[in-house]
A and B are shown apart, each in its own frame.
Chain A
Amino acid sequence: MDGEDRQAARLTPPELFLLFLGISVQSFGGTLPFTRRALVERRRLLSGPEFAEMLALGQMLPGPNVINLSAALGDRHAGPRGAAAAVAGMVVVPVLIVMALATLVGTVTHLAAVQGALLGMAAAAAGLLLGTAWRMAEPIRRAPLGLLVFAAVFGAVALLRLPLALVLLAAVPLSLALHGVFGRFRQ
């Protein structure tokens, strides 16, 4: 019964491409809420907890979280071709749109008002990053260990401008060890 249900709900690579294309082109200011709404609420391909779990696993792997999730979901439905179709749906059209946008903006950058607007937009983008960091930091604002790791990495990257690979090579194992990831668990 359960097996039949899943068989019926299996998407083909073209369907996966269109599904993720639809999600990506309406994702302004972050893909996460749009992906969740499409996969969980509209298409019911995943339950809420399943989505949260896949996203969390995606966050532990290198690469964009939502793209990791799309690849895994595409693979679950149609194997490697499904994964490729889902990821392509997520990125190809947005890349074309962003390059078209940059080209268009390039034709008017000699105007002082456009230069000013771009400067203001870039400043707003920086503000959005700082605001996002503040929101993301909710769980660690009162955690000394988290603040310590935050301060060390922020200092190394933003102030000392050290290469990220070196910083991560030192900071990832250290932070995981400090948070007790390598400890033994008792059932």
Chain B
Amino acid sequence: MILLLLHVMAVSLGLSLLAVGGAIAIVPEVYRIAVVSNGWLTPARFAELYAISQFAPGPNAMIVALVGWEALGGRFGGWVGGLAAMAAFVGPTSVISVLAFRSWAARIPPARQVLIRAGLLPLSVALVASSGVLITMSLGAVPVVLLVVGAVTAASALTKAHPLLLMAAGAAAGAASTLL
């Protein structure tokens, strides 16, 4: 139990160091480590927890807490696991951030900052797109899944619809499909 907890924290710490351009970028790696390598949860359960994490307020990284929660078996151990996973996820990177802001970050010439962001952007975009594809694939090629993914992709790319509204619409479509 303690070993599992330490393992989950080590994984969370490793994930946080890979989160370039935001926490959303590490979803494919959370999937690879938690589902493929360690078998802490099934692909479908991962997608389910990711959906729940998007329905809660707070930073984008809540899937990390839920994976810790699930790996430790839900219930009481799960709550400890979730909090520990999140502490390991945000603690060390916050220290790095504080030290970097204090010493060098603001001293990088603005022109070079622009280039660094330009260089990192295609990486972030690729990781976010990969997350979308991996979650879709983990749900299986069911008609309702493909329909909802396509409609929500278009709506969120082209309109200003609120994310929660689109999630609710997806939930309604999914629930309706079980009644047909």
Contacts and interface: CB of A to CB of B under 8 A. Distances in A.
Given A87-B90, A128-B167, A154-B129, A24 B36 contact: no
Given A119-B145, A124-B148, A127-B152, A98 B125 contact: no
A171 B125 CA distance: 13
B58 A27 contact: yes
B156 interface: yes
Interface residues of A, number: 101
Contacts of A69: 97
Given A29-B164, A63-B94, A98-B52, A153 B139 contact: no
Interface in B126-157: 126-136, 139, 142, 144-145, 148-157
Contacts of B129: 129-130, 133, 150, 154, 158
Interface in A117-164: 117-137, 139-140, 145-154, 157-158, 161, 163-164
Nearest to A24: B58
A116 B97 contact: no
A99 B65 contact: yes
A125 B58 contact: no
B61 interface: yes
A13 interface: no
A27 B47 contact: no
A138 B29 CA distance: 25
Contacts of A122: 47-48, 50-51, 135, 139, 170
B124 A136 contact: yes
Given A72-B98, A130-B153, A164 B170 contact: no
B132 A130 contact: yes
B139 A119 contact: yes
A16 interface: no
B112 to A, nearest CB: 6
A125 B179 contact: no
Interface in B73-97: 74, 78-79, 82-83, 86, 89-91, 93-97
13 contacts: A30-B163, A59-B117, A60-B113, A63-B90, A63-B96, A67-B90, A97-B57, A120-B144, A121-B51, A121-B167, A122-B170, A136-B124, A178-B119
